[in-house]
């Protein structure tokens, strides 16, 4: 016998709003329905545990079935089930009184509002109407003598309840997929969604199983002559019900950590190390954070930290829980105390969330200190990979900097790793650094020949980190290796008259008001010239490029070219004929520029032409 009624929501606009909600992530409906099934199983298991529900030989599970021909998708659980009264209460009354609030809050919104709002208002089941034109429920309560119930709605405010035909305890939700949503009738697409949202749910999930209730054939030791050896047929769940983060850290092996990492992130490069989080008080938190190898040594490689609630996937990279700088890591955090569908505004205003975030940061800094103190060599081996996230963390979180400042390392051009305190600094507390070891190789060689040190700072985050360190350590200043020629690089005063003649000849050929020419006697006689740009001018130049604004007050920064009067080629410049002098001066300037920066396309073409002429001149002179 069918019984009709009307869903108790005053506004009839509820279904259009639901269908429009979270439009770009409509696949989340499957998470909502499977999570509801897990909840139903969990409730029944608890009742069985206290003897208030009969035991069952069938293990707890959820079966997802796709019928492309019938255009249906069903989610079946063997959980607690519902009576007709419970269907009326939890389905037709839209699971508490939140529906009206939902409609009022979101009826004017075109973009669907905050993520997770359906569950937030108790509307998880109704996410089925995001892709289903019609939805049915077949359910049988665990209660003794309960009758099966069938519920049907075509997406309007009306519904039908009738006697059902289900003969096992649990519920089946069947979606008649709407026109235009046929992607959800593809088994591969459903498998993809289950992997995304339900990979670690607490009960086994099967997709289109074929042999689930059949006894598994026992494999015979030997097949009879002329017969093929039979392989047992078995269905396997699509999820892992016991993810590694649920185990105690002491019970996990390195191989398990590595295997779990590659399985979750499809990254077959082994992680450097990991942190296993396991907290019961004052909040419930479990998870594993992995420190991945940075494949790109220039740019910051984005990480991926997955947030779960009781093994149900919520979202990636939630900054309110995971500090922004730790999002360079890979891992998973399970916070059972958070609601499954949680809004950003809730997280921002929740005191426990801030405590969780601080705890995670502390655990990370503790782990880094543990490695640094226990195995300095290993820490140094990790440094090139982990330094981007540590530097980013110091810049973004002052408390993290306070914890990490003593374990910040600078890698030298000699391949050593020094803390800021250990790093050798001159009387002026200046630290020279390199941004491109290939481009600045000439300067590096000059420094090494004089026993001088420079830090290798080649990552995209390093310019910001340098400024940050100078701000936090007022007595320390950084200068790029090509910003100054110190006294240690000079041979002495040299021949004043020769130096004057060289300077004048070079200045006349390269008539550029932004180019300051001077000649000095450098210790490295094989270097004809070097180009210098002051650290202040370079930083203004970098800021202008980064922000698309002119921080140099409209003027190009002045570049200095230092000619080496000890170099034989440079010594000959004043003696050359005008045409050859022009060629040699321009070529010397090209060589100095190549060690300073990359040439533009036009500059490179000119350099190649001059190279040919220089070769011709050398051949003629011989």
Instruction: Assess if residue 400 is contained within a domain.
Output: no
pLDDT for 450 equals 83
Task: Tokens for 321, please give them.
Answer: 């829980």
588 and 530 in contact (C-beta within 8 Å)?
no
- 215-245 pLDDT tens trace: 655 554 555 565 666 666 789 999 999 999 9
pLDDT for 442 equals 86
Mean pLDDT for the chain overall: 84
Question: SS3 of 431, please?
Answer: strand
Instruction: Based on the fold, state whether residues 353 and 450 are members of the same structural domain.
Output: no
pLDDT for 106 equals 46
Give Cα 487 distance to the centre of its chain: 46
Instruction: Assess if residue 99 is contained within a domain.
Output: yes
Q: Taking residues 394-419, report their average pLDDT.
A: 94
Q: Is the pLDDT of residue 102 over 90?
A: no
| Backbone CA torsion sign across 204, 42, 265, 187 | positive
Question: SS3 of 520, please?
Answer: strand
pLDDT for 345 equals 55
| Domain at 436, CATH number | 3.40.50.11260
Q: How confident is the model at residue 7 (pLDDT cuts 50, 70, 90)?
A: low
Q: Taking residues 245-260, report their average pLDDT.
A: 95
Instruction: Based on the fold, state whether residues 152 and 184 are members of the same structural domain.
Output: yes
Share of the chain above pLDDT 90, in %: 48
Instruction: Based on the fold, state whether residues 528 and 499 are members of the same structural domain.
Output: yes
pLDDT for 252 equals 96
Task: Out of 207, 234, 269, pick the residue that ends a domain.
Answer: 207
Q: In angstroms, what CA-CA distances link 93 with 6, 90, 121, 159, 515?
A: 9, 6, 12, 11, 79
Instruction: Based on the fold, state whether residues 474 and 515 are members of the same structural domain.
Output: no
95 and 8 in contact (C-beta within 8 Å)?
no
Instruction: Based on the fold, state whether residues 500 and 583 are members of the same structural domain.
Output: yes
Q: How confident is the model at residue 355 (pLDDT cuts 50, 70, 90)?
A: confident
Instruction: Assess if residue 382 is contained within a domain.
Output: no
pLDDT for 117 equals 39
Q: How confident is the model at residue 346 (pLDDT cuts 50, 70, 90)?
A: low
Token pair 């004048």 is found at 504
- 267-325 pLDDT tens trace: 888 999 999 999 887 778 899 999 998 766 556 667 889 989 889 888 887 777 788 88
254 and 273 in contact (C-beta within 8 Å)?
no
pLDDT for 439 equals 87
Instruction: Based on the fold, state whether residues 364 and 460 are members of the same structural domain.
Output: no
pLDDT for 95 equals 43
Residue 606 has what DSSP assignment? H
Instruction: Based on the fold, state whether residues 474 and 332 are members of the same structural domain.
Output: no
| Backbone CA torsion sign across 391, 394, 400, 406 | positive
pLDDT for 293 equals 84
> What residues make up the domain containing 274?
244-377
pLDDT for 16 equals 60
Q: Is the pLDDT of residue 172 over 70?
A: yes
305 and 332 in contact (C-beta within 8 Å)?
yes
| Domain at 567, CATH number | 1.20.120.790
Task: Out of 464, 480, 496, pick the residue that ends a domain.
Answer: 480
Q: In angstroms, what CA-CA distances link 510 with 34, 218, 308, 573?
A: 74, 89, 65, 13
| Domain at 124, CATH number | 3.30.565.10
Question: SS3 of 291, please?
Answer: strand
Q: Is the pLDDT of residue 249 over 60?
A: yes
Q: Is the pLDDT of residue 378 over 60?
A: yes
Task: Tokens for 555, please give them.
Answer: 């003027």
Task: Tokens for 39, please give them.
Answer: 């909840």
Name 520's bridge partners: 564
pLDDT for 201 equals 95
| Domain at 288, CATH number | 3.30.230.80
Please provide the DSSP assignment of 206-246 as one string: EES-SSTTSPPPPPPSSPPTTSPPPPPP----SS-SS-GGG
Residue 325 has what DSSP assignment? G
Residue that wins the pLDDT comparison between 5 and 366: 366
Instruction: Based on the fold, state whether residues 474 and 495 are members of the same structural domain.
Output: no
Share of the chain above pLDDT 70, in %: 82
Instruction: Assess if residue 212 is contained within a domain.
Output: no
Spatial CB neighbours of 102, under 8 Å, sequence gap ≥ 6: 14, 17, 117, 121, 123
Closest CA to 289 of 321, 314, 312: 321
Spatial CB neighbours of 412, under 8 Å, sequence gap ≥ 6: 418, 423, 453, 454, 455, 456
Instruction: Assess if residue 222 is contained within a domain.
Output: no
Instruction: Assess if residue 50 is contained within a domain.
Output: yes
Q: Is the pLDDT of residue 147 over 50?
A: yes
Instruction: Based on the fold, state whether residues 274 and 360 are members of the same structural domain.
Output: yes
Instruction: Assess if residue 236 is contained within a domain.
Output: no
Q: How many CB atoms sit inside 10 A of residue 63's CB?
A: 20
Q: Taking residues 70-79, report their average pLDDT.
A: 97
Residue that wins the pLDDT comparison between 358 and 104: 358
Whole-angstrom distance, CA of residue 529 vs CA of residue 565:
9
Cβ density class 203-235: b for 16+ within 10 Å, e for less: bbbbbebeeeeeeeeeeeeeeeeeeeeeeeeeb
Task: Tokens for 585, please give them.
Answer: 């001066």
Cβ density class 325-339: b for 16+ within 10 Å, e for less: bbbbbbbbbbbeebe
Q: In angstroms, what CA-CA distances link 139 with 20, 126, 129, 167, 209?
A: 28, 16, 19, 9, 21
Instruction: Assess if residue 391 is contained within a domain.
Output: no
Q: Is the pLDDT of residue 394 over 90?
A: yes
Instruction: Based on the fold, state whether residues 469 and 498 are members of the same structural domain.
Output: no
pLDDT for 23 equals 40
Instruction: Based on the fold, state whether residues 360 and 501 are members of the same structural domain.
Output: no
Instruction: Based on the fold, state whether residues 469 and 492 are members of the same structural domain.
Output: no
Whole-angstrom distance, CA of residue 34 vs CA of residue 64:
9
Token pair 């809004």 is found at 343
Task: Out of 152, 178, 207, pick the residue that ends a domain.
Answer: 207
Spatial CB neighbours of 522, under 8 Å, sequence gap ≥ 6: 446, 485, 489, 490, 491, 530, 562, 564, 566, 567
Total domain count, the chain? 4
Token pair 């916070």 is found at 335
Whole-angstrom distance, CA of residue 503 vs CA of residue 592:
15
pLDDT for 298 equals 58
H or E element, residue 136: strand 132-140
193 and 186 in contact (C-beta within 8 Å)?
no
Closest CA to 36 of 99, 106, 128, 132: 128
Enter the pTM of the model.
0.77
């Amino acid at each position: 016998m069918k019984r009709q009624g009307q869903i108790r929501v005053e506004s009839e606009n509820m279904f259009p709003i639901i269908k429009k909600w979270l439009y770009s992530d409509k696949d989340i409906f499957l998470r909502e329905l499977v999570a509801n099934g897990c909840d139903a199983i969990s409730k029944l298991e608890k009742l069985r545990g206290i003897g208030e529900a009969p035991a069952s030989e069938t293990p707890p599970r959820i079966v997802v079935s796709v019928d492309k021909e019938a255009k249906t998708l069903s989610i079946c659980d063997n959980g607690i089930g519902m009576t007709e009264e419970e269907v009326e209460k939890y389905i037709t009354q839209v699971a508490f009184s939140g529906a009206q609030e939902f409609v009022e809050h979101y009826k004017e919104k075109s973009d669907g509002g905050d993520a997770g709002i359906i569950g937030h208002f108790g509307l998880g089941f109704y996410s089925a109407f995001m892709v289903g034109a019609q939805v049915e429920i077949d359910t049988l309560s665990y209660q003794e003598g309960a009758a099966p119930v069938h519920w049907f709605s075509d997406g309007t405010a009306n519904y039908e309840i009738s006697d059902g035909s289900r003969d096992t305890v649990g519920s089946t939700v069947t979606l008649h997929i709407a026109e235009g949503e046929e992607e959800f009738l593809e088994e591969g697409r459903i498998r993809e969604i289950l992997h995304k949202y339900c990979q670690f749910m607490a009960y086994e999930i099967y997709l289109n199983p074929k042999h689930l209730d059949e006894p598994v054939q026992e494999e015979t030791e030997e097949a009879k002559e002329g017969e093929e050896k039979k392989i047992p047929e078995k269905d396997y769940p699509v999820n892992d019900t016991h993810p590694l983060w649920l185990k105690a850290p002491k019970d996990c092996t390195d191989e398990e950590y590595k295997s779990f990492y590659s399985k979750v992130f499809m990254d077959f490069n082994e992680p450097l190390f990991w942190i296993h989080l396991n907290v019961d008080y004052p909040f419930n938190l479990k998870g594993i954070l992995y420190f991945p190898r940075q494949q790109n040594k220039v740019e910051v490689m984005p990480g991926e930290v997955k947030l779960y609630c009781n093994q149900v996937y919520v979202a990636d990279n939630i900054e309110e829980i995971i500090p922004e700088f730790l999002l360079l890591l890979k891992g998973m955090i399970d916070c059972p105390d958070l609601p499954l569908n949680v809004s950003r505004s809730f997280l921002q205003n929740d005191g426990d969330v801030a405590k969780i975030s601080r705890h995670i940061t502390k655990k990370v800094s503790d782990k880094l200190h543990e490695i640094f103190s226990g195995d300095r060599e290993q820490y140094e081996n990790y440094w090139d990979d982990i330094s981007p996230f540590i530097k980013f963390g110091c810049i973004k979180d002052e408390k993290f900097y306070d914890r990490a400042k003593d374990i910040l390392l600078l890698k030298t051009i000699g391949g050593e790793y020094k803390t800021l305190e250990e790093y050798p600094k001159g009387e002026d507390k200046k630290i020279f650094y390199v941004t491109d070891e290939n481009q600045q190789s000439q300067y590096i060689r000059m420094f090494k020949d004089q026993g001088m040190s420079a830090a290798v700072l080649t990552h995209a985050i390093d310019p910001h980190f340098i400024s940050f360190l100078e701000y936090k350590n007022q007595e320390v200043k950084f200068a790029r290796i090509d910003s100054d020629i110190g006294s240690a690089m000079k041979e002495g005063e040299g021949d004043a008259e020769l130096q004057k003649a060289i300077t004048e000849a070079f200045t006349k050929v390269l008539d550029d008001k932004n180019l300051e020419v001077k000649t000095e006697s450098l210790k490295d006689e094989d270097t004809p010239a070097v180009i210098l740009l002051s650290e202040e001018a370079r930083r203004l130049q970098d800021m202008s490029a980064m922000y698309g604004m002119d921080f140099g007050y409209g003027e190009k920064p002045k570049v200095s070219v230092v000619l080496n009067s000890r170099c034989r080629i440079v010594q000959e410049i004043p003696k050359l004929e005008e045409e050859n002098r022009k060629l040699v001066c321009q070529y010397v300037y090209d060589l100095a520029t190549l060690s300073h920066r990359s040439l533009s396309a036009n500059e490179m073409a000119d350099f190649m032409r001059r190279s040919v002429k220089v070769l011709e001149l050398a051949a003629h002179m011989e």
